Amino acid sequence: MNLTQNTDKRDRSDRRKSPTPVISRYTFFGGRRKIIRRESDKDSCLFVDLYSTRLLLAVLSLLTLSCLDAYLTLSLLAKGSVVEANPLMAFFLDYGVFPFSVIKFVITASALIVLCLFKNVNITRYGLPIAIKIYLLVIIYELYLYAI
């Protein structure tokens, strides 16, 4: 064996020179990064591979609240006591219940995917709990309208 051969595998360039991409192969097939470890990377590298159970619960809560909102909205519309206030959703409601429900779900799910990818951005960390509280207030208001 030739001892003068370079067996060091650090010949390639440093992988940390470029920030983690928003979507990479690890986004869908698992990776190793849950948090940003280095203080120097916190300003430039926002994306990680693994997501917490807390984030999953927040996303599922928002998706569930959105579906419940759609159901209560349709129930209140059938009762004749309200009109759809969101012009975009009112447009799709003119085409029927199914398009309204699908579009509401797709818009909400797409927004939640973006929020997951940007989970380390301050507006997402603060905005997600606020969005859950706002949705809860909307659901409570709709339940109140349904009861009267």
43 lies in some domain: no
Task: Show the 3-state SS of the chain.
Answer: CCCCCCCCCCCCCCHHHCCCCCCCHHHHHCCCCCCCCCHHHCCCCCCCCCCCHHHHHHHHHHHHHHHHHHHHHHHHHHHCCCCCCCHHHHHHHCCCHHHHHHHHHHHHHHHHHHHHHCCCCHHHHHHHHHHHHHHHHHHHHHHHHHHC
Task: Tell me the average pLDDT of the chain.
Answer: 79
Q: State yes or no: pLDDT of 137 exceeds 90.
A: yes
39-83 pLDDT, tens digit per residue, is 555 555 555 556 778 888 999 999 999 999 999 999 999 998 788
Q: Residue count of the chain, please give it.
A: 148
Per-residue confidence (pLDDT) for residue 130, from 0 to 100: 93
Does residue 110 have a pLDDT over 90? yes
Q: Is the pLDDT of residue 23 over 90?
A: no
Is the model more confident about 77 or about 38? 77
Number of domains the chain contains: 1
Residue 40 is assigned to a structural domain of this protein: no
- Examine residue 5 and state whether it is found in any structural domain, yes or no: no
Q: Which residue has the higher pLDDT, 111 or 20?
A: 111
Is residue 129 one of the residues assigned to a domain?
yes
Q: Is residue 126 part of a domain?
A: yes
pLDDT of residue 123: 83
Q: Which domain holds residue 102?
A: 52-147
Could you tell me if residue 6 is inside a domain? no
